[in-house]
């Protein structure tokens, strides 16, 4: 990619040992967008060498759209913050390595940015059981709240300056904390649209692991 050229959207995806089949699914969903003025930064957060080699080889097929960046493991929040540094887009957004975009996700988000600096949205949530719709409440970890009542990391879409000026903390509910900090300085909005496919039925997902870790604390 020409690092001096400007594009509209930078999509950031942090990967840490996510099954390769799921990562490919996520990447394909970005490549298949009906809005094509984007770059995808695959941020390999210190994955095992076998996965890293597979990722690098796969990303090389799409060098006009994808940049592969490997780093020492530092966690999703720090990986995304580093990705912002390398991004060239006017807008920044995120996709989790085990999720998908619907084909109109980016175009839908861009259409909402005329009066906003940062948006979030609802998701089409895929679950195995009713309990999967619920996650620990950041204000009281012994209580659960519905995912529709949360700010979800990968549904965030906003101007690059918001991501540069605030950044994500290495903490539980880093997405909500980021959104709250942004709301104090910028125009924010949560959409009721569901163009992001959120898989809550994957036991190895980041959110599932966090939920399990929080449950064991009590």
Non-local (6+) Cβ contacts of 67 within 8 A are: 1, 39, 40, 41, 42, 59, 86
**pTM for the full predicted model:** 0.91
Average pLDDT for residues 132-154, to the nearest whole number? 88
Confidence of residue 4 (pLDDT cuts 50, 70, 90): low
Report the C-alpha dihedral over residues 71, 72, 75, 79, rounded to 10 degrees. -20
Summarised one tens digit per residue, pLDDT across range 61-104 is: 999 999 999 999 999 999 999 999 999 999 999 999 999 999 99
pLDDT number for residue 195: 98
Which band of pLDDT confidence, cut at 50, 70 and 90, is reported for residue 54? very high
Q: Are strands 140-146 and 134-137 parallel, antiparallel or unpaired?
A: antiparallel
The domains found in the chain, sorted by start residue, are 7-216 (3.90.550.10)
**Residues 41-65: what's their mean pLDDT?**
97
With bands split at pLDDT 50, 70 and 90, how would you rate the model's confidence at 139?
Answer: confident
- Report pLDDT for 214: 47
The SS3 assignment for 217 reads: coil
- Rounded to an integer, the average pLDDT of 97-116 is 97
Q: Does residue 166 sit in helix, strand or coil?
A: coil
Output the pLDDT for position 216.
Answer: 45
Given a contact cutoff of 8 angstroms between Cβ atoms, the answer to whether 12 and 80 are in contact is: yes
Residues contacting residue 56 through CB under 8 Å, at least 6 positions apart: 68, 70
Please tell me which residue, 5 or 74, carries the higher pLDDT value.
74
Judge whether 38 and 65 are in contact, CB under 8 Å: yes
pLDDT tier for residue 6 given thresholds of 50, 70 and 90: confident
pLDDT in tens, 170-207: 988 899 999 999 999 999 999 999 999 999 987 665 55
Least confident residue range of 28-37, 135-144, 186-195: 135-144
Q: What is the mean pLDDT of residues 24-40?
A: 98
Q: Is the model's pLDDT at 142 over the cut of 90?
A: no
Rounded mean pLDDT, 120-126: 97
Spatial distance between the Cα atoms of 216 and 218, rounded to a whole number of angstroms: 5
| % of the chain with per-residue pLDDT over 70 | 90
């Amino acid at each position: 990619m020409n690092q001096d050229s400007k594009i509209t959207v930078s999509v950031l995806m942090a990967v840490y040992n996510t099954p390769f089949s799921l990562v490919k699914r996520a990447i394909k969903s970005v490549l298949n967008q009906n809005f094509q003025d984007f770059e995808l930064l695959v941020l390999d957060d210190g994955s095992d060498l076998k996965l890293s080699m597979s990722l690098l080889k796969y990303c090389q097929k799409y060098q006009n759209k994808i940049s592969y960046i490997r780093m020492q493991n530092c966690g999703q929040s720090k990986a995304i913050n580093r990705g912002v540094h390398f991004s060239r887009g006017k807008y920044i957004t995120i996709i989790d390595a085990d999720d998908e975009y619907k084909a109109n996700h980016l175009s839908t988000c861009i259409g909402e940015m005329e009066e906003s600096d940062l948006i979030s949205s609802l998701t089409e949530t895929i679950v195995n059981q009713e309990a999967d719709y619920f996650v620990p409440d950041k204000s009281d970890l012994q209580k659960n709240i519905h995912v529709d009542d949360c700010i979800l990391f990968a549904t965030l879409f906003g101007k690059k300056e918001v991501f540069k000026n605030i950044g994500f903390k290495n903490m539980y509910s880093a997405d909500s904390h980021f959104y709250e900090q942004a709301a104090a300085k910028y125009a924010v909005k949560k959409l009721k649209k569901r163009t992001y496919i959120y898989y809550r039925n994957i036991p190895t997902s980041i959110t599932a692991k966090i939920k399990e870790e929080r449950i064991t604390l009590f």
